[in-house]
Amino acid sequence: MNGKDLLKRLENRKKAGVYIAFFMFLIVMATTTLSITPSGTTVYVSGDGRGNFNCDGTDDQVEINKALAYVAEHPEFTTVHLKGPNTYVISDSILIGSNTVLEGDSTAVIKLEDRANWPAIKPLITQINSSGEQNITVKGFEMDGNHDGNTDKKKGDGYYNLIHLINSTNIQVHDMYMHDSHGDGLKVENSSNIQFYDNKVYKLGHDGFYGIQSQYMEAWNNTITCRTNSGLRVWDCNHVKFHDNTIDSFYHWSAGGPGIQIQKSSGIMDDIEVYNNTIHDTYGPGIWLLAYGNYPVEEAQNVHIHHNTFYSTGTNPSIDWVGGIVTSGFNNTLIENNVFDGTYHTAIALMYPTGYSTDLSPKGTGYTTIVRNNIITNTERRKSESSGTGYGVVNYLPETHSFLLENNCFYKNVAGDYRNAISTSDIYVNPLFADQKENDYHLRSSGGRWNGKMWVKDIRSSQCIDAGYPSSDYSNEPEDNGQRINIGRYGNTEEASKSGVMPGYVAWWNQIFSPEWRIFRIFLRVFLLFCFKIQI
């Protein structure tokens, strides 16, 4: 082989090497592109190496934020999905942008690192753009605020809120398990169209849901155990619905305040509805309405609280503003068709929060609270300064506030039914609950009572049936409804107990018998006594 042939062969090998290297580069690029390019509309984050972005258990917000940034930069993608089972430990905030869903398996956990030492007001999840975002959904996974790994910080001081959004619209947070934090679960400010539902919230360090100066908010079907403060809270918010939630607490100094807190200082609050909730064993009151300052009465009015169940609320031994509902500064509040059973201090109190600044009181007068079609029973004495407590309703502010009491039922309240209040239409009888020990507050009825599965008939009927306010709507009650609303939790609902049997008829073994049958039973009894000398 001469020199020219050798040189030519070397050049060919060099070209082949370049081609091979370039081909290998394309393979690597293709492989890399496939590893980060999601399919469909979802980007996956994992801890096992099988995601589009993969975490290692340290600073996992880095990969999660890369996935969220990818979605933000590529409009064809909508969702970041956290795969489980895996715990994603974060040392900085997760940042979410508009038109984005952050979801996860129920076994995926976002957890704050130990000894995070973040500044106050820095949350685990917040928005990319501080001026606001829109169309954000967070759903399906677990958030662990790691309270015990960060005991250097105080609860309720603004540390480590789980989700905090400002100036944002169209927010949904649902099907989450949120627990053990120093701050709020979901906190929103200056925002609108907020939905918080189907969440389990356990022992946070402030409020489960907290709305500030926001509009059109709804929270429903949440199960919340309070710590430090409230389950649901709004401050200077309007167009609010809180319904079908179960809220409780526990007996401990850190157990929290009210189940639901409605607070007004400067904003208009005239469209708020609270209904179908079960609130029990709260450390503070079941619901606390507080309006204060100098404002026209129209700015704080028309709160509607109805069809709720309160039992054993207000167990705190260190404060006096406990009970079922404690309110001041709101006008034309309508409290109707609720059950209050065994609440501490009182079922409903008109009072300022003793021990707070005098600034937490309204400057005006003429605040009326309408209490209608409620059952108030077994009120207990307050644990703090118990003397003189245990009334059904109490007005501590008779110079500025008043009750209008209409067609309620009072029974076995330890100190009596009223203090600084009167009524001409209330009744005072045993309401005959289906099973008070099991908190079944359907009314017994010989005409028919719903037991959760079917209609059954009782031997006796509650006097609360067909005894409500004559002008109240009864159209949702099943026939026979007596053309009048029932008193209590199920009045004007499809589960309202039916009207009792006609005079002279009797109920026996879930059947109704005519007067003729009653006469027959008498003759039968006499016959058996005569023939067999037995007593039936």
Q: From 362, 336, 360, select the one nearest 489 (Cα to Cα).
A: 336
Give residue 518's pLDDT band: very low, low, confident or very high (50, 70, 90). low
Closest by CA to 323, choosing from 245, 376, 374, 398, is: 376
pLDDT of residue 16: 47
Find the range with the poorest average confidence among 18-22, 153-157, 471-475. Answer: 18-22
The reported pLDDT for the residue numbered 253 is 86
pLDDT over threshold 60, residue 374: yes
Do 212 and 168 meet the contact criterion of CB atoms below 8 Å apart?
no
- Closest to 359 (Cα-Cα) out of 291, 424, 263: 291
- State how far the Cα of 244 lies from the Cα of 133, in Å rounded to an integer: 28
Residue 29's pLDDT band, with cuts at 50, 70 and 90, is: very low
Would you state the pLDDT for residue 4?
52
Looking at residue 358, what is its pLDDT? 66
Does 533 score more than 90 pLDDT?
A: no
Dihedral of alpha carbons 477, 438, 274, 319, sign:
positive
The model's confidence at residue 25, banded by pLDDT at 50, 70 and 90, is very low
Q: What confidence tier does 40 reach under pLDDT thresholds 50, 70, 90?
A: confident
What's the mean pLDDT in 521-526?
62
Q: Which of 294, 237, 314 is nearest to 270 (CA)?
A: 237
Looking at residue 525, what is its pLDDT?
66
DSSP string computed for 31-83: HHHHHH--STTEEEEESSS-SSEE--SSSTHHHHHHHHHHHHH-TT--EEEE-
Which range, of 132-146, 292-306, 359-373, averages the lowest pLDDT? Answer: 359-373
pLDDT tier for residue 254 given thresholds of 50, 70 and 90: confident
Mean per-residue pLDDT, 9-37: 43
User: What is the average pLDDT across 156-181?
Assistant: 97
Consecutive H or E run containing 163: strand 163-166
Res 8: pLDDT: 52
Query: For 47-64, how does the pLDDT look when each residue is reduced to its tens digit (9 = 90+)?
Result: 999 999 999 999 999 999
Query: pLDDT category, 355, cuts 50, 70, 90?
Result: confident
pLDDT in tens, 311-331: 999 999 999 999 999 999 999
Q: Is the pLDDT of residue 23 over 50?
A: no
Is residue 60 a contact partner of residue 80, using CB atoms and an 8 Å limit? no
Q: For residue 298, how many other CB atoms are within 10 A of its CB?
A: 11
Q: Above 70 in pLDDT, residue 475?
A: yes
Mean pLDDT of 203-228: 97
Domain annotation for the chain: domains and CATH numbers: 39-225 (2.160.20.10), 502-536 (no CATH)
Instruction: Give the span between the Cα atoms of 472 and 133, in whole angstroms.
Output: 43
pLDDT reported for residue 210: 98
Report the Cα–Cα distance between both ends of the chain, in Å, rounded: 127
What is the structure's pLDDT at 509?
A: 46
**What pTM was estimated for this model as a whole?**
0.87
Span 366-389, average pLDDT: 96
Give the pLDDT of residue 31. Answer: 37
Task: Check residue 360 and give its pLDDT.
Answer: 80
pLDDT band at residue 33 under the 50/70/90 scheme? very low
Q: Which residue has the higher pLDDT, 506 or 88?
A: 88
pLDDT at 354: 80
pLDDT for 445 equals: 97
- Flag whether pLDDT at 342 surpasses 50: yes
| DSSP letter assigned to residue 362 | B
